[in-house]
Structure 1
Amino acid sequence: MADAKKAKAADKAARKEERAAKKARRKQTRSQLWQAFKLQKEHDKMLIPLMLLSVIGVALVFFLVGLLWNGQWFMLIMGIALGVMLAMFIFSRRLENSMYDRVGNEPGAAAWRLENLRNSMGVVWRTKTGVAATTHMDAVHRVIGIPGVVLVGEGAPHRLKPLMQQQRKRLTRLLADVPIHEIYVGDGEDQVPVKKLQNALIKLPRVYRKDDVYAIAAKVEAMDHVGANPNSPAGLPKGPLPKGAKMSGMNRRARRMSQRRGGQS
């Protein structure tokens, strides 16, 4: 009986702690949204007028529609609710666009964008940033999704091309029939701006379903774990060979050792 009471008290305390944690997270989220709103409205003078216009405009349209069947007050409430949702959507999109404008030309902006790709119905993305890089902060990122594999280059195109070719060869050995696309991020010709990167990915031909994407990603990630050179002979120690050592000599010694062990057994 005492154990049951203790278990019940512990369960009650755990639920109370969980509710407190959820409340703290909601409070933190509201605080972050408010801070983001204050920062955004300082340099976006059209933000508040557009948000107010969306709330008032949608509410007015719903109110007028409700007049047709004497349900204007019910429709007004619905209009206000939908107007608030539209205002929040406008705020989030303008905040997102302003962030792209600020970080668009900074190194790592494309990686940040790819890490925040939005999955949706039937669409999934598996991203790994910085699969190859140079000392000049040029980088190649890899995205696996419904179009296949997409290599995204961020930096100077003439330095990125050898990296892209290297990654393409590496992936082709593993995924012979999977399409491999290349996208170069930037504002130049044949390049894609950071803010339009997800749209560029979505416009690629849809070849696979979500389950196929997970299977392809599992194979590629397994290759990543093996190392940069998955074709290295099994059983060899990692790292450089001893100075002056030859593969043929090492193989002969390994065979002799195996024969001796077989004879002893």
Structure 2
Amino acid sequence: MCAHVVVAEDDEGQAALIRRYLEREGHQVTVVHDGRAALEAVREQTPDLLVLDWMMPRVDGMDVCRVIRSELPLAALPVLVLSARSAEDDQLLGLDLGADDYMTKPFSPRVLMARIRSLLRRGAQHAPPEPEPALRAGPLTIDQARHEVRVHGRLIDCTAGEFRLLELLAERPGQVFTRAQILTHLHGFDRHITTRTVDMHVMNIRKKIETDTRRATYLVTVYGVGYKIAHDDEPSGRREARTSRAS
């Protein structure tokens, strides 16, 4: 797992040692030597982990940790504190201020790397899921994350059922879905819902996205089978013929 790690350590020798071990494992490393620079690096670069020396000039590690936790949720940025203070009260203070781990100096670089790997794995588990990419089919754009439909960039007001129908068809442009398949996707196996519901959704969607609802070019009918979102390269004459035959 390649990560971006900010190392805030005023001892240049120790900072170089930590950088060397991190880069050996394929990580990108930013080294800073005071607390103010650490805050700037976190705000500007959004790293995956902060290795934070407790005693630094300008702004000390305790204040850096306080500020970071006031600006970012706990899961957003793991913080590993390095400190020459080994007393139990110091360690408890560090953890109470929001540090995820606390190591005392002198430390074993191998143990430090093991703890870094553990924190990075934990951070990856809490990372928010990547938003679904918008579906695009010709002039239609279905943004699943925002629950928006656009045609030629114009926002279309869709009901939940209309959105799910378009979403299903736009995931596989050109593929024909029967009314029964669409109905199952929309309503499961509810026997009280008929295929006429699908036709009503299609009619309402066409009023919103088609220039001429009698000669549909985007949401087209395949005679005797069902509906599909047309491919960009499908001749419009063939689309219109199929639609008129079905109407």
TM-score strictly above 0.5: no
Larger helix proportion, structure 1 or 2? 1
Larger strand proportion, structure 1 or 2? 2
TM-score (norm 1): 0.26
